Amino acid sequence: MTEGEDRTAGRQDPTWIAKDPLLGAVVVSAGQIAARVSELGEQITKDFWGRPPLLVGVLKGAFVFLADLARAIELPLEMDFMAVASYGTATKTSGVVRIVKDLDLDLTGRHVIVIEDIVDSGLTLSYLRKSLLARGPESLAICTLLQKTGQQRADFDVEYVGFEIAPDFVVGYGLDVAERYRNLPDLRVYLAGEPE
């Protein structure tokens, strides 16, 4: 198998995926995700050489990405998690952000990388970024698996982006709708409208 070749090409979907009428086209395949996570791990390893980072995973959507990315980073590192809510069970952000689970570790003087699943409007991440910067880290970078094109309403840089995608609602690889579909190995369009 050559580098960058999709290991999932030609495989049949498990029955439950194939029969789900709410799952649309694959946006990013499992093979593409694995290759890109490896590249991001290499880049972060190079950029943070000599200054071990603290990875802050934003629950719940980023947990699969964080697990794979952490193993691709060839540095000693630490991990912590926080949970923020702005979607609830809907497919669109409410714009109101609240911290549901805060960090256990002190950020003072640390090199922090926030690991996100997706940057949509950027409003949630903007709030989170301000909150974390107020805690005195030495540096703060953002790494997101996905960034939706043309949707950002907040002004800040995302240092590491896995994939830029169209503004469709996607599920899989940790991303959900009403807690479903997190265990999909790839990212797919969610065909239903906003849940009631």
Instruction: Pull the structure tokens for residue 103.
Output: 């960090």
Q: How many CB atoms lie within 10 A of CB 163?
A: 15
Question: In whole angstroms, what is the distance from residue 23 CA to residue 156 CA?
Answer: 32
Which residue among the candidates 20, 47, 80, 120 is catalytic per the annotation? 120
Catalytic residue check, 155: no
Closest CA to 145 of 45, 27, 48, 50: 27
User: Dihedral of CA 71/72/76/78: which sign?
Assistant: negative
CA 95 to chain centre: 19
Question: In whole angstroms, what is the distance from residue 79 CA to residue 70 CA?
Answer: 9
Give the residue numbers marked as catalytic: 120
